[in-house]
Structure 1
Amino acid sequence: MPANGSIHIEIIHQGDHCASCQYMAEAVEEILPRYGDLIRLNKVEYTKSKKHARRFYDLSVSLYGENEVTKRMRCAPIPSLFIDGEMVFDVIPPRNELINAVESALEKCGLLLS
């Protein structure tokens, strides 16, 4: 859910050594200036800290359920992009599709007029 009049974009990011993770982050960073403070961006680098690992776990559970994550080790795709806790892309999105997804989320939250 939106907080403080913004949407929250999270990128599941393995680290700087992951080229596809970098490309996804660059795709989002490229469009950020269009929206100013309407977007909060976080990279969920699950190997970086316990906080990030916990968020990665929570997002994975939201996708597949706790049993699938704990028993079958089924995790959120790397990289993947979540908007307000919902997975929107599990591949690097074309620019126009990313813009459409962001604007749809902003409209849904009443932050952008259609």
Structure 2
Amino acid sequence: MFTELLDPDNTSKDVWADSAYRSEESLQELQAQGFREQLQREACCHKKLTAREQQGNRSRAKIRSRVEHVFEVIAMRTGSTLMRGIGIVRIRAKIGLRNLAYNVSRLVLLVAA
């Protein structure tokens, strides 16, 4: 699924993902398609991360957490990320309403601050 999600028409060539997507195959595919990898690195028991790799993970985590927190809040408020419905049009409408509700609540918090 990783390579299917890569969109050559995307205006940003950065690909942000966690360490589960880091493999030689995926790195080669990113390079072949002209993307810049922003994948987390993972230490193992035989090889610790260098100070530079740890700093890179911290800077990537700051960016990724801003996006992931949005999905976490939406999932917490709705109880689940699983959606049931008949037809893709209804599911898209439900997703749109969830996003709208999140954006309105976020706007209320920003205006109140």
Question: TM-score scaled to structure 1, two decimals?
Answer: 0.33
Q: Taking CA–CA contacts closer than 8 Å with sequence separation of 6 or more, which of the two structures ends up with the larger relative contact order?
A: 1
More strand by share: 1
Under a length normalisation based on structure 2, what TM-score does the superposition of the two structures give? Answer: 0.33
The structure with the greater share of residues assigned to helix is 2
